[in-house]
Amino acid sequence: MKIHKNTTITGHISILPGDPWQPCPELLTEEEAIRYLRLDGIKTKDSANTLRYYRRKGLLRATQVGKSIRFRRIELERLLEELTETNPR
């Protein structure tokens, strides 16, 4: 499925930011979670450390699949809700 930047998406499809845009899966890798939260666009030395920080603080739950850590999209959305509630700007 190729999605162009000028395409309007309706319904329940979520899109991962980046170039090219991609449909967002329900289960994301660390790299996809970083893109979903747009941590790659902020000034940090290591965006993966930010994810680990959220996990240590209990703000983000991850799922182990085999030897890999994955993030359910609903957990990322819960993190965003929590961050918005505790620090509304």
Rounded mean pLDDT, 21-33? 82
Q: Tokens 């941590």 appear where?
A: 39
- Is 30's pLDDT higher than 80? yes
**The domain containing residue 40 runs over which residues?**
25-86
| 12 vs 15: CA distance, rounded Å | 10
Q: Is residue 33 part of a domain?
A: yes
Residue 49 domain flag: yes
From the CA atom positions of the chain, what is the Rg in Å?
A: 14
What's the structural domain count of the chain? 1
Domain-located, residue 34:
yes
Distances (CA, A) of 36 to 3, 7, 66: 16, 19, 22
Q: Is the pLDDT of residue 22 over 60?
A: yes
In a domain, 4, yes or no: no
19, HSE (Cβ side, Cα atoms, 13 Å) = 2
In a domain, 10, yes or no: no
Residue 39 lies in a domain: yes
Residue for token pair 């959305």: 77
State residue 23's pLDDT score. Answer: 67
76: in domain: yes
Residue 2: pLDDT over 60: no
- Pairwise pLDDT comparison (24 vs 59), residue with the higher score: 59
pLDDT at 36 over 50: yes
